Structure 1
């Protein structure tokens, strides 16, 4: 059960069904209340109309015996000021809700049924007990109440309307007339029955449709999940998840997943190639050093001490390069120190023959950046090493400001870099044909390290043609 309701489809179906259920209950309650209110209002109007018809007859002096009290078999009572029933429907057997429960009239009337005029002055004195009326006038205000009545053996609920009327000979009278509520009860009960039957059916349809729609919508997600599970099991990062042609969120999820898989495949392939290249590069100096040591162990007089030291230094530099690349790949953030690039350039160029430094005299406050002095120094050292290997006679380092950027240029007067290779030379373990010698060209990591450091500092490293005809490497960093 927990697994069933743990699925998105089940939760979506349950949520949609609950929302529709709440909406249906609220709408049903509103409909029932509105229907009942309208029907009660209509019954009250009918009762008032009947009461005013009788009141009109009384106002014109119609005797009690001639009143229209049995029209449509509705209960009618006529009560005098003392609360005495003076006229009522003929077949009325029981009544509640009017305040007068008697059903047989006991009017203080003359034998001819015309009524006893009595002392009308007393009736006038009691006008202040209700709505003030003149003789022959019918009251405007109507009092409505609910009750029941039994007529000729049939008992029903009624809505009663009370209308006052003032007569000349019988004083103030009140007419109670009822309208049956059977239509209201029947309509409300019918509507309630329809809702009790229809709402569950409608909820079942909503749940079923939601279940089908969500299953159809989530089918591509299940396909993505299965493919990802297969990729995880097989470790084949060349596989891709299916992209549905719906152009919706699921399709974008599949596309993003494939982009992530492609980036992961590229990263893993890069790591594999890096490990293979590193192993290959380490093998040569280690093998050379071992050979020299083995020869020296057997024949000490043949020990090439300078060669052994050279191989050891080369191995140390290669290990340092690999360690720095590993730290950069791990996302190591550079320090946030202020570095004077002009001073750093002079420091790295010191002691190197044929290297000159040219500073921008118009840069107020020097050319400074925020970052790691050690890593930026490594970038300049690698660029100078590369320039000196390819220069014919001179290398020039320039430091200047270019808007919000600090620019360091390292130019040589050598052969330059072909346009087709200007991006490839920044790849790891790449050496151009002119620099294939490991002894002269290094392991092919210097420029890769320089660009990685530049990127980590928020800058760029590119190569162009130098004014003297060689290569110009430009390092651009955000100025501090």
Structure 2
């Protein structure tokens, strides 16, 4: 049972059936109440007409024995003292009228014994009193609605005429409608539940296809597969499109991770193997130990490990800090510490260039850009700072061979080095520019490369300014 109602189809069918059932029951009750009220109103009107008719005859002085009684309905005339003065023909019992008695009081015949004409009485203009009761007429007992109309006889006697209208039509109609609802409601609910089940099953068929394909992808670990996309332009189709986009992004991410691991393993293998060889030779022949080479390999390993750790933190979603950093001061501090650079660095641009971010990560970006420029410059490296439209621009230019147009985006990929001018002679692993762009992007900025005025590479770092900066 739990498994059955654990499906969307079952819950949708059950929910639709319950909603329709509640709506139909409420509508049915409303119909029954309205129908019953209308039929009772008709009975009240008929009873009032009959009571007015008899009251009019009494008011003109017609003897009770000569009153024209309505056919097959109970009528009772009661005096103001509660005495029954006259009843309709064949009335055997009555409840809910003026008196439960059906015999004429005073031992009379129910007729007026005085033949003198004293004049005319009148019928009360007040609204008739209405009540429910029962009566037995000619041996048949039934429920009635009674209307009570007061009249004054020509002799000034006040009487009340009670006339009944049968409720058999109301009861029959209400009973028929009720039986029809009791028969039709279950059948209608079965139809609603079945149709909802079928429609939901058809609507969810693409979802089941997506689920099966996702299960197959999970089992096979083949991220190149895609889920089927329905032809319809509905929510399920959009779900399939989004799922495929997610699979594509996941596939690209896994591929980047695999390539990253492979490239990192390759990059680490060379310095580790070189360092091991030098240490083994030094252990066997201390006089042949290349201490400087071992130090270089160790420094290279240290830098590569730091780069890989930073990339891992960035890939994990580490957000930069929001400290205020003077980019101009940071550039001058970074340049002042690079005393062993092969090519002198010239800094242009004065003023305060505040940005918000991580001082350590921004220093790494500047250091990576300067390392790249030093590696490929012939005789000069220049850094220019300026504020432009709410942003801080840092331009790093060298007079080297530059970057070919077709390679200007590729050099920002991880472990990518160009084969011509941008060699690995200084042991670069191809991570510096990738790290620089990633950090710039996470700070809300950008990093791009173009051609400098002298034909070399021009790297432009753009970051949002934390405050209004002075132009250089």
Measured against the shorter chain, the TM-score band is over 0.9
| Matching residue of 1:460 | 446
* Correspondent of 1:344 among 318, 325, 330: 330
Aligned residue for 2:68, secondary structure, equals: coil
The whole-number CA distance in structure 2 between the counterparts of 1:253 and 1:443 is: 41
The whole-number CA distance in structure 2 between the counterparts of 1:209 and 1:112 is: 69
- Contact 1:163-1:175 at 8 Å conserved across structures: yes
The whole-number CA distance in structure 1 between the counterparts of 2:407 and 2:362 is: 24
Give the drift of 1:304: 2.4
Q: Deviations over 1:43-98 (max 9, x none)?
A: 010011011111111222211111011x3211111122222222111211111110
Give the drift of 1:294: 2.7
Give the drift of 1:256: 1.1
- Contact 1:435-1:441 at 8 Å conserved across structures: no
| Matching residue of 2:79 | 80
The whole-number CA distance in structure 2 between the counterparts of 1:333 and 1:101 is: 94
* Correspondent of 2:426 among 431, 440, 445: 440
* Correspondent of 1:385 among 342, 348, 371: 371
Count of aligned residue pairs for this structure pair? 460
| Matching residue of 1:126 | none
The whole-number CA distance in structure 2 between the counterparts of 1:14 and 1:173 is: 63
Give the drift of 1:107: 5.7
**Does structure 1 residue 418 correspond to structure 2 residue 408?**
no
Superposition pairs of residues 358-377 of structure 1, within 5 angstroms:
358-361=348-351, 366-377=352-363
- Contact 2:399-2:456 at 8 Å conserved across structures: yes
The whole-number CA distance in structure 2 between the counterparts of 1:184 and 1:370 is: 84
Superposition pairs of residues 49-60 of structure 1, within 5 angstroms:
49-60=49-60
**Does structure 1 residue 45 correspond to structure 2 residue 31?**
no
Give the drift of 1:185: 0.5
TM-score by length of 2: 0.93
TM-score by length of 1: 0.92
Give the drift of 1:337: 2.0
Aligned residue for 1:173, secondary structure, equals: strand
| Matching residue of 1:211 | 197
Give the drift of 1:441: 5.8
**Does structure 1 residue 63 correspond to structure 2 residue 78?**
no
* Correspondent of 1:311 among 291, 297, 307: 297
**How has the CA–CA distance of structure 1 residues 117 and 403 changed in structure 2, closer, same or farther, with 3 Å as cutoff?**
farther
**Unmatched segments (≥5 aa) in structure 1:** 121-133
Give the drift of 1:342: 0.7
Give the drift of 1:14: 1.4
- Contact 2:417-2:424 at 8 Å conserved across structures: no
The Cα RMSD (Å) is 2.0
**Does structure 1 residue 6 correspond to structure 2 residue 9?**
no
The whole-number CA distance in structure 2 between the counterparts of 1:11 and 1:45 is: 51
**Unmatched segments (≥5 aa) in structure 2:** 467-472
**How has the CA–CA distance of structure 1 residues 436 and 31 changed in structure 2, closer, same or farther, with 3 Å as cutoff?**
same
